[in-house]
Structure 1
């Protein structure tokens, strides 16, 4: 079982916590790289949130 599979299994059913963790990790990377790769980081955050269950989606917001 790969690392992503283990993460998915642990975070299954907890999209809010997963979304917060992805945001925090992305903010850390942006800080360390001084925002140089912020576009790439944002794309990666969106893809991870999609895989983990979209933790930042409020009511009435469509999925992308």
Structure 2
């Protein structure tokens, strides 16, 4: 298990806190930029939130797809 797997597992275990941090970071960027990049910030927030709750080894494009069993 690599360091990124450890990070993902920890983020998944504390999903609510991580998502709150993602929101706070996005709000800070919006304040600093005068909301000029609000659409891109929202996309980044959505991507990050999807990553936190997604099963390991998936991306936002296939997070809801059924997993194959070996």
TM-score by length of 2: 0.64
Secondary structure of the corresponding residue to residue 13 of structure 2: coil
Of structures 1 and 2, the one scoring higher in RCO (CA 8 A, sep 6+) is: 1
Deviating beyond 6 angstroms after TM superposition, the runs of 4 or more aligned structure 1 residues are none
Aligned to 1:43: 43
The alignment's C-alpha RMSD in Å is 2.1
Which residues of structure 2 form unaligned runs of 5+? 55-63, 65-70
**Rounded Cα–Cα distance in structure 1 between residues aligned with 2:49 and 2:22:** 7
When the two structures are aligned, how many residues end up with a matched partner?
A: 53
Which residues of structure 1 form unaligned runs of 5+? 55-62
Give the superposition deviation at 1:20: 0.1
Question: Highest Rg: 1 or 2?
Answer: 2
Aligned to 2:12: 12
